[in-house]
Amino acid sequence: MAITIVQAGEPVLRKPARPLRPNEIRSREIRELIEQMKETMHAAPGVGLAAPQIGQGIQLAVIEDRAEYTREWTAEQLADRERQPVPFHVIINPKISVIAEERIDFFEGCLSLANLMALVPRARKVRVECLDEKGAPKVIKAAGWYARILQHEIDHLHGTMYVDHMHPRTLMTVGNYTTHWRNTPMVEIKEALLKP
């Protein structure tokens, strides 16, 4: 059963979430919450959902970037964004570090900022140490779009949202992005939107 996604202005979105304890991770409540979060993310649809976005101040997020989300994209668009499918997985109590200082600008949206998008600079490569849904430690090394998803969701666990990082002049509705910018090369977007 999908859960309501809270929107910007809800206090839980601006508070650092608390780490989950080992006994909590393996509990029936957390297993059920993960399933509900997965359903909610798919229903939205989205590529990630952090527990604070459903009103739970705990360090838990679900991630999945399905091939169907980009089936109408060109090979050039996928390559430009370094985007490929990411299987469903859970991250708990993550610690993130930047592997390379290179930063890349792309549009991001957020299920807690319905119908808005903006150009957001993010690290191109990251390393994440976390626990999985069974409490087992894992290390994720990610680049491109997957690295962006991880940074976005982990930000939520620290009370941060993409609007804190965005280029303010690029904030727009999803409809306007689709109509005017979706098929525009990034160099042209930056020229048009980032120069006053």
Catalytic residue among 24, 64, 68, 153: 153
Q: Kindly report the number of other CB atoms within 10 A of residue 143's CB atom.
A: 16
Pairing of strands 116-131, 137-143: antiparallel
3-state secondary structure 117-176: EEEEEEEEEEEEEEECCCCCEEEEEEEHHHHHHHHHHHHHHCCCCHHHCCCHHHCEEHHH
List the domains of the chain with CATH numbers: 11-193 (3.90.45.10)
Residues 6+ apart with CB under 8 A from 68: none
Give the pLDDT of residue 74.
83
Give the pLDDT of residue 78.
82
Rounded to whole angstroms, the Cα distance separating 35 from 40 reads 9
For residue 187, which amino acid is it?
V
Residue whose pair of structure tokens reads 């490929």 in the numeric block: 84
Give the pLDDT of residue 1.
76
Active site residue 32: no
> pLDDT tens digits for 105-121?
999 999 999 999 999 99
Give the pLDDT of residue 2.
78
Can you read off the two tokens belonging to residue 54? 């459903």
Query: Cβ-count burial of 14 within 10 angstroms (0-12 exposed, 13-18 middle, 19+ buried)?
Result: middle
Q: Is the pLDDT of residue 183 over 90?
A: no
Residues 6+ apart with CB under 8 A from 176: none
First to last CA, the chain: 46
Confidence class of residue 195 from pLDDT cuts 50, 70 and 90? confident
